[in-house]
Amino acid sequence: MANFYNDNPDLKHHLTHPLMRKIIELKERNYTDAEKYDYAPFNYDDAMDSYEKVLEIAGEISGDIVAPNAESVDHEGPHVVDGHVVYAEGTQKNLDALVKAGLMGISLPRRYNGLNFSLVPYIMAADMVSRADAGFVNIWGLQDCAETIYEFADEDQRMRYLPRVCAGETMAMDLTEPDAGSDLQAVMLKATPDEANGCWRLNGVKRFITNGDGEIALVLARSEDGTKDGRGLSMFIYDKNDGGVTVRRIENKMGIKGSPTCELVFKNAKAELCGSRKLGLIKYVMALMNGARLGIAAQSVGVSEAAYREALAYARDRRQFGKAIIEFPAVYEMLSVMKAKLDASRSLLYETTRFVDMYKTYEDIARERSLTAEEKAEMKSYSKLADAFTPLAKGMGSEYCNQNAYDCVQVHGGSGFMKDYACERIYRDARITSIYEGTTQLQVVAAIRHVTTGTYLNRIHTYEQEEIAEAYKSLKDELVKMTALYAEAVEKVTGAKDSEYLDFMARRLVEMAGNIIMSYLLILDASRNESFDHSARVYCKMAQAEVAKHADFIANFAPNQVEEYKQA
Amino acid sequence: MSLNIIVLAKQVPDTRNVGKDAMKADGTINRAALPAIFNPEDLNALEQALRLKDANPGSTITLLTMGLPRASEIIREAIYRGADTGIVLTDRTLGGADTLATSYTLAQAVKKFGNYDIILGGRQAIDGDTAQVGPQIAEKLGLPQVTYAEEILDLKDGKVTIKRRLENGVETVVAPLPCVVTVNGSAADCRPRNARRVQKYKYAVSPSEKEKLSDEMKAIVDARPYLNLQEWSAAYVDADPEQIGLPGSPTKVKAIENVVFTAKESLTLGNDDEAIENLVKELIANHTIG
């Protein structure tokens, strides 16, 4: 009997962030849906109460159903029967419970039978489901592909597909191919118009497709004959009911084994165009990936949480040399750093989610009426922040997730290396978070322009202006010094006007920005809620050392020294 | 066909997590120290009712509970999971009822409700563990009863086919409708609360709860008839005052003893297959397992 919402008060802290009032007001269009739908809220308190009640359901399912099934799902895994995926028994049970609970289409508008929730509670549910079973969250979390249909498909398509997602049908995004992984411009799956039947036909192979046998798939395919780059690609919707796609095999993975990673064969599969031709990669996949990256950031935080809790419980329980191992400095330092990284990445996750919520909600309002100049400016500013923070949350969150999983095994000592404890599964599951939906290295590529254009620095200055509790004034003084080191490092690297040198140093600069931002976020959290005090202090200490380390490296490094690192 | 389903349920103290203050000095349950929950096997019964409703669209499920006014909490809980409405049978005169008085009162309420096709309830409640109320209601209503039900396999042509879980296996029986079915804990778990239903019904209140609301909330409840739960009194169900509550309860608790199990003897086993095999044989021989 565990409830992953009620047993983790940090979630409520983030759910009730001051900006939520504005986000929900915008999302609910000043609560006008209450007249049309009997489940729509009539004011902020009512909406927040509903968010909490629904998160309690997600927390209960995560704790009572998904988490207890995680081990058997990891062992059993999905398999292919007659070209289609059959989930592990536990996976199917998890999915049934979440569907019956109505936790599909959480953020979709009510006219498609969605809950019209802001992204924050949706991401929070993903955070909890990931803590329960990181592999399962992929299947459930692919519901955010529906956002892409909502944003780019026409109304007829929305009416046909979105209610099905809300009723529990699962989705997939079919992007990668054997020769098109990180480089999606190389996608070859061929789309040909079938004018006689008023549809498109897809032929080719997709590889590494999560939940590839989902009922509704978004497929990136080459619609423009003779093209070779991203501009020849369009997005299609494939409905499994129409047939034409079979699962050739399921990959045998290191972790997240419950999530079927499929190789798909398209044989004249019927499909329909989503949005406009040629915008598949350059517009729609970019939007899809940003949503997916936020999802992986949530998954990373959830896995980090699981790792921290397993380590903490073991360290309290395990006795050596006459006392619990948690009493040894080497162990308690590890645990407090784990908690600090967990809290820092979670604060960054929800800060990012609020930014996405703000600009997406404005974008949605703009579909109904034109925005005021002030609203437009606000949308633009949040859109930029979302763009800057998403790779940071995904990149650093997934690295922290891996570090926490590593330390979790370490705290368990020899027992952690055995299959008897959950930590070995967590360790394997964590490993993918810094790889898929863009490796950490690619997150750095996405983030670096916000280092060079000053998005991060401007935001850091905004945090500097915010009211904080008296107790954190001295920590803030340190952060101001760290910011100066960061600005200096940025100036040195960008001043050299050497793009290879910039690429070489990009990870360090992005991490410095991330360290400072997460420090500020934790101080702000601690100012609002003293339970974050410990993490704020521990994280700032760690961040200070990290920033100094990177600053030192950059200060003592001449651009031409990049040559010394080149490998044949 | 659409069915009129009654689910009998009870709000009980959570005896699964008993602390040392769970009993008062006089040996009765200290209800204040234990959280009040939906009796687990009644949730199994609700799930069977919900499956009947899934298979027979247009059916309605009414939760009937006897208890304190706060028992409306479990009605909301049932509605969140898919029940349509509920009735709290509450009255000061009902306090102290044993199974005889309880079954009498509930049977009266069922008669008052009238027009039902099937009555489902949990096998037993975790506070008393008697498993008597369901069968007694069936007797008082003159209905067939199926106890230890694990799954309703089929319902058609006025008959219901039910799998029963017995000590040594399963038994499949057919009963005519209407009948009373008590559901075993081995039956399927109840489905979770539904997000949309929670939002729709979270302000559902009984009349006594409604009185305590602000005017603003009262107006909301008035404007939405489905938010109004029912509360029935003993008089409303035409209960004979002599047969309800304490006066109607011949059961008297003489004494309650707190039993703490302690091991009296221990056995050290060798770390080999033979020793373990011998232990298993012994445990089978004395019926501890098997």
Candidate from A243-257, B173-187, B239-253 with smallest mean pLDDT: B239-253
Q: What is the ipTM of this complex?
A: 0.92
Does the structure show a pLDDT above 90 at A182?
no
Confidence of residue A261 (pLDDT cuts 50, 70, 90): very high
Residue B283 has pLDDT above 80, yes or no: yes
Give yes or no for a contact between A264 and A209, defined as CB atoms under 8 angstroms apart: yes
CATH code that applies to domain A171-277: 2.40.110.10
pLDDT average, residue stretch A509-513: 98
Domain count, chain B: 1
Q: Do A54 and B220 touch (CB under 8 A)?
A: no
Cβ neighbours for A14, distance < 8 A, ≥ 6 positions apart: A120, A124, A346, A347, A350
* Per-residue pLDDT at B44 exceeds 80: yes
User: Measured between alpha carbons, how far is A174 from A17 in angstroms, rounded to an integer?
Assistant: 35
Q: Is residue B216 part of a domain?
A: yes
Whether B240 and B140 have beta carbons less than 8 Å apart is answered as: no
Instruction: For residue B229, give the nearest of B89, B112, B85 by alpha carbon.
Output: B85
Q: Per-residue pLDDT tens for A106-152?
A: 999 999 999 999 999 999 999 999 999 999 999 999 998 999 999 99
Beta bridge partners of B9: B65
Alpha-helical runs (H) found in chain B = 40-55, 72-81, 99-113, 133-141, 195-201, 207-211, 215-223, 273-285
For position B27, what pLDDT does the model report? 62
Size of interface A-B (CB pairs under 8 A): 47
- Please give the pLDDT value at position A286: 87
Portion 31-90 of B in contact with A at CB < 8 A: none
Which DSSP symbol is given to A145?
H
Residue B289 within a domain: no
Question: Which among A4, A48, A53 is the top mutation candidate for probing chain B, defined by the most B β-carbons within 10 Å of its own β-carbon?
Answer: A53
Report the CATH fold assignment for A279-437.
Butyryl-CoA Dehydrogenase, subunit A; domain 3 (1.20.140)
Average pLDDT over residues A471-483: 97
> How far is A468 from A480, CA to CA, in rounded Å?
14
Please state, as a whole number, how many other Cβ atoms lie within 10 Å of the Cβ of residue B168.
5
Over range A366-377, report the average pLDDT: 97
* pLDDT, tens digit, 9 for 90 and up, residues A522-556: 999 999 999 999 999 999 999 999 999 999 999 99
Q: What is the pLDDT of residue B281?
A: 87
Output the pLDDT for position B256: 74
Interchain CB distance below 8 Å, A53 and B202? yes
pLDDT bin (cut points 50, 70, 90) of residue A369 is: very high
Residue range A343-363, pLDDT digits in tens? 999 999 999 999 999 999 999
Is there a contact between A447 and A391 (Cβ–Cβ < 8 Å)?
yes
Contact B195 A103 (CB under 8 A): yes
Confidence grade of residue B26 (pLDDT, cut at 50, 70, 90): low
Picking from A541, A258, A532, A300, the residue whose alpha carbon sits closest to that of residue A405 is A300
What is the rounded distance in angstroms from the CA atom of residue A495 to the CA atom of residue A490? 8
Q: Rounded to 5 degrees, what are φ and ψ at B232?
A: -115, 145
CB of B181 closer than 8 Å to CB of B160: yes
- Under the banding of pLDDT at 50, 70 and 90, the label for residue B271 is confident
**Band of pLDDT at residue A92, cut at 50, 70 and 90:** very high
B56 within 8 A of B1, measured Cβ to Cβ: yes
| pLDDT tens, position by position, B118-139 | 999 999 998 888 899 999 999 9
Question: Mean pLDDT, to the nearest integer, of B180-186?
Answer: 96
CA distance B77 to chain A (A): 12
Q: Report pLDDT for B270.
A: 83
Looking at A330-339, A399-408, B38-47, B270-279, which range is the least confident one?
B270-279
Confidence band, pLDDT 50/70/90 cuts, at residue A488: very high
Question: Rounded to the nearest 5 degrees, what angle is found at the Cα of A104, between the Cα atoms of A100 and A110?
Answer: 110
Single pTM value for the model: 0.93
- At residue A6, the pLDDT reads 97
Contacts of residue B202 in chain A, CB cutoff 8 Å? 49-50, 53
pLDDT (tens digit, 9 = 90+) per residue, A150-181?
Answer: 999 999 999 999 999 999 999 999 999 999 98
Average pLDDT over residues A93-106: 96
Query: What is the predicted pLDDT for the residue at B28?
Result: 65
> Which CATH number goes with the domain that contains B189?
3.40.50.620
pLDDT at A222 over 70: yes
State yes or no: pLDDT of B18 exceeds 80: no
Please say if the pLDDT value at position A199 is more than 70: yes
Asked whether residue B267 carries a pLDDT value surpassing 90, the answer given is no
Query: Given an 8 Å threshold on Cβ–Cβ distance, is B192 in contact with A60?
Result: yes
Chain B residues 174-213 within an 8 A CB cutoff of chain A: 191-200, 202
* Cα distance from N-terminal residue to C-terminal residue, chain A: 56
Q: What is the reported pLDDT for B257?
A: 74
Of A29, A3, A81, whose CA–CA distance to A366 is shortest? A29
pLDDT at B184 over 80: yes
CATH no. for A1-169: 1.10.540.10
Average pLDDT of the residues of chain B = 92
Q: Does B217 touch chain A (CB under 8 A)?
A: no
Beta strands B60-66 and A190-194 are: unpaired
Which residues does chain B have within 8 Å of residue A38's beta carbon, measured at their own beta carbons?
200, 224, 226
Residues A182-193: what's their mean pLDDT?
Answer: 94
Instruction: Indicate the CATH number of A440-565 among 3.30.70.890, 3.20.20.70, 1.20.120.470, 3.30.360.10.
Output: 1.20.120.470
- Specify the pLDDT at position B185: 95
Q: With an 8 Å Cβ cutoff, are A38 and B192 in contact?
A: no
- What share of chain A in percent tops pLDDT 70? 100
| Residue at A82: amino acid letter | D
Q: CA A374, CA A85: separation in Å to the nearest integer?
A: 49
Q: Which tens digits make up the pLDDT trace of B79-116?
A: 999 999 999 999 999 988 899 999 999 999 999 999 99
Q: Which of A141, A55, A140 is nearest to A95 (CA)?
A: A140
Evaluate if residue A384 carries a pLDDT over 80: yes
Say what the pLDDT of residue A356 is. 97
pLDDT-derived band of residue B290, with 50, 70 and 90 as boundaries? Answer: low
Sign of CA dihedral A240, A245, A250, A251: negative
**Does B286 have pLDDT greater than 90?**
no
> Which whole number is the average pLDDT over B51-72?
96
pLDDT confidence of residue A457:
98
Q: Domain spans of chain A?
A: 1-169, 171-277, 279-437, 440-565
Which DSSP category does A177 fall into?
B
One DSSP character per residue, A283-305 reads IIIHHHHHHHHHHHHHHHHHHHH
- Cβ distance A39 to B200 less than 8 Å, yes or no, reads yes
H/E element, A309: helix A286-317
pLDDT at position A28 over 90: yes
Domain assignment of residue B179, given as a range: 4-243
Q: Is A50 within 8 Å of B193 when comparing Cβ atoms?
A: no
Residues sharing a CB contact under 8 Å with residue A563, sequence separation 6 or more, in sequence order? none
DSSP for A497-548, please give it: --HHHHHHHHHHHHHHHHHHHHHHHHHHHHHH-GGGHHHHHHHHHHHHHHHH
The tokens for A46 are 């009512």
Residue B280 banded pLDDT, cuts 50, 70, 90: confident
Q: What is the mean pLDDT of residues A490-515?
A: 97
CB-based contact A115 B196, cutoff 8 Å? yes
